């Protein structure tokens, strides 16, 4: 038996060598007639690896290269992504209001001391943009907060000062007392292309330093209903509650967007997320830090979208441009000769895509700038020169000290309620048609004219004083026209349908 051992070892060595040059096969060795006197050498796995084509190997190496890029970017950017906690005190909706237990307040007060106000906490993400402790985030992450705290990836926590916030773009800047922090590199969102790989980094569901990957699904998304000025980057990188204020990063490790919101019927990730382009966010941030407010251009018109029928009526082959609904007397547009019914198709020689595109471009232009507008009027094209003014009210909605637009309005404070823009998500939740425009009631204080008139949270105000209202400023204008002591009629829509209420303006 021993004389067979050297021969067996030599045969195994030869078989292993053949594995590198031969097709997959099995080699069987026998030294007797019984089945237990045999051995089999399989060379299938090793030869399978050797059979990859050059194209397959290059493809695998390419995927591995992308994976290594994701790893490198996550290591580089994650130390600059922070978690932001906010806290504010909110009034309890009583007496006669709802409570967490679903029981009458009178019954609860017999056994418990019910507080007048309760703390409300929120959480989001932020991006370190300055080594001195400046952090860029969303306005809705820190809006109305009595206290803001920032937690770094290394575990350190700091109380933060809100340097400025701009509800119209949903951008805010906070600062912590720290130095030598790792600041991100800011990219150029205008150069971003649909289809590019991107990473989203933030703190969804309190899971800090979460990294997800996807592509740029679209650019220039507007009419989403999240802010007054929208030019969103759409991505399928997973974004969930808590990601707001985090970073959208390209494969060069540059932040090209600030993650803001998702479109979802379930409240969680469904493949559609939105980020504010970093060029817009940076412009707003610089103004907030420098001036404490955002200054925008103002023309003085109301606009509407152009559909196929309107485009055909104006001789266009497809819907584009913005149709002038009205012109404010004495406004820059009025002085330049803009008329109701004009269809604005170009601004400074560049085609106007739609109403939101024009509003955004005018808003981003500095007051005092003269712009050339091409309009279609009575089948003729005219070029009008408009000297833009400053958007009124910006000092109220984007200052360091002042609260947001809905809060700072004295009429709303006296009436005892707050409102916000109606979003697509709220339309789905409240089962309201997509074409309904209005303001959703987010808070009603007890013992106020709003509660006395039976205005409720989640009601949607669609008209005030027989005029449609889709923004807080439009509602304010109607309220301010009513003399103290008189009433204004509101048309309200809820799950139960449309109804009217009469709201009395207090005398003092």
The residues that are catalytic are 140, 170, 244
Q: Could you tell me where the beta strands, DSSP code E, fall in 251-359?
A: 254-262, 273-277, 297-298, 301-304, 322-327, 343-347, 350-351
Residue with tokens 């382009």: 277
Tokens, residue 210 = 């979460």
Tokens, residue 446 = 């007890």
Query: Can you tell me the distance from the alpha carbon of 297 to that of 366, in angstroms, rounded to the nearest whole number?
Result: 5
Alpha-helix runs per DSSP H in 443-491 = 449-452, 472-480
* Partners of residue 184 on adjacent β-strands: none
- 254-262 and 185-186 beta bridge pairing: parallel
Alpha-helix runs per DSSP H in 299-457 = 308-313, 332-336, 355-363, 394-397, 405-408, 410-415, 424-430, 449-452
DSSP 506: P
* DSSP character string of 133-147: SEEEE-HHHHTT-SE
Query: Can you tell me the distance from the alpha carbon of 447 to that of 433, in angstroms, rounded to the nearest whole number?
Result: 32
Query: Can you tell me the distance from the alpha carbon of 168 to that of 244, in angstroms, rounded to the nearest whole number?
Result: 16
DSSP 319: -
Query: Can you tell me the distance from the alpha carbon of 282 to that of 277, in angstroms, rounded to the nearest whole number?
Result: 9
Query: Can you tell me the distance from the alpha carbon of 217 to that of 194, in angstroms, rounded to the nearest whole number?
Result: 6
Helix (H) or strand (E) holding 442, with range, is: strand 439-444
Query: Can you tell me the distance from the alpha carbon of 293 to that of 283, in angstroms, rounded to the nearest whole number?
Result: 11
Report in angstroms the alpha-carbon separations of 222 from 81, 136, 312, 357, 441. Answer: 27, 22, 23, 8, 23
Query: Can you tell me the distance from the alpha carbon of 70 to that of 253, in angstroms, rounded to the nearest whole number?
Result: 9
Q: Are the CB atoms for 295 and 388 separated by under 8 Å?
A: no
Backbone CA torsion sign across 362, 367, 373, 376? positive
Report in angstroms the alpha-carbon separations of 185 from 38, 75, 80, 182, 261. Answer: 66, 14, 10, 10, 22
Query: Can you tell me the distance from the alpha carbon of 160 to that of 142, in angstroms, rounded to the nearest whole number?
Result: 10
Query: For the chain, what's the residue count?
Result: 508
């Amino acid at each position: 038996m021993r004389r067979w051992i050297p021969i067996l070892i030599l045969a195994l060595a030869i078989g292993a060598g053949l594995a590198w040059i031969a097709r997959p096969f099995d080699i069987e060795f026998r030294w007797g007639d019984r089945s237990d006197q045999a051995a089999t050498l399989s060379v299938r796995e090793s030869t399978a690896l050797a059979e990859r084509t050059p194209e397959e190997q290059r493809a695998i190496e390419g995927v591995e290269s992308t994976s290594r890029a994701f790893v490198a970017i996550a290591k580089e950017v994650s130390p600059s992504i922070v978690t932001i906690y906010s806290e504010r005190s909110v009034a309890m909706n009583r007496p006669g209001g709802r409570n967490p237990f679903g029981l009458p307040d009178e019954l609860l007060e017999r056994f418990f001391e019910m507080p007048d106000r309760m703390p409300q906490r929120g959480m989001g993400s932020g991006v370190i943009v300055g080594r001195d402790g400046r952090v860029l985030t969303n306005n809705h992450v820190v809006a109305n907060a009595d206290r803001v705290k920032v937690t770094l990836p290394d575990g350190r926590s700091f109380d933060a000062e809100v340097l400025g916030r701009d509800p119209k773009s949903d951008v805010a800047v906070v600062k912590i007392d720290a130095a030598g922090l790792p600041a991100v590199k800011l990219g150029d969102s205008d150069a971003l292309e649909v289809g590019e790989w991107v990473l989203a980094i933030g703190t969804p569901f309190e899971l800090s330093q979460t990294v997800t990957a996807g592509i740029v699904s679209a650019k220039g998304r507007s009419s989403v209903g999240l802010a007054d000025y929208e030019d969103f980057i759409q991505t399928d990188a997973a974004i969930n509650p808590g990601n707001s204020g985090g970073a959208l990063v390209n494969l060069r490790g540059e932040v090209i967007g600030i993650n803001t919101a998702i479109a979802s019927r379930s409240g969680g990730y469904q493949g559609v997320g939105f980020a504010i382009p970093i060029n817009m966010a940076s412009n707003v941030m610089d103004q907030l830090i420098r001036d404490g407010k955002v200054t925008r251009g103002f023309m003085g018109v109301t606009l509407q979208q152009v559909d196929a029928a309107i485009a055909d009526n104006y001789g266009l082959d497809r819907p584009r441009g913005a149709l002038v609904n009205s012109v404010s007397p004495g406004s820059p547009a009025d002085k330049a000769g803009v008329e109701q019914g004009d269809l604005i198709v170009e601004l400074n020689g560049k085609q106007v895509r739609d109403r939101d595109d024009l509003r955004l471009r005018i808003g981003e232009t500095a007051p005092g700038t003269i712009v050339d507008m091409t309009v279609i009027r009575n089948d003729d094209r005219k070029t009008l020169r408009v000297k833009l003014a400053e958007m009124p009210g910006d000092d109220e909605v984007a200052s360091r000290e002042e609260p947001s637009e809905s809060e700072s309005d004295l009429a709303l404070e006296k009436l005892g309620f707050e409102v916000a823009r109606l979003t697509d998500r709220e339309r789905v939740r409240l089962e309201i048609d997509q074409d309904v425009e209005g303001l959703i009631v987010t808070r009603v204080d007890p013992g106020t004219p709003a509660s006395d008139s039976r205005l409720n949270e989640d009601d949607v105000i669609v008209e005030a004083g027989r005029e449609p209202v889709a923004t807080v400023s439009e509602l304010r204008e109607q309220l301010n026209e009513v003399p103290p002591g008189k009433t204004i009629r509101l048309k309200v829509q809820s799950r139960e349908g449309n109804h009217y209420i009469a709201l009395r303006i207090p005398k003092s």
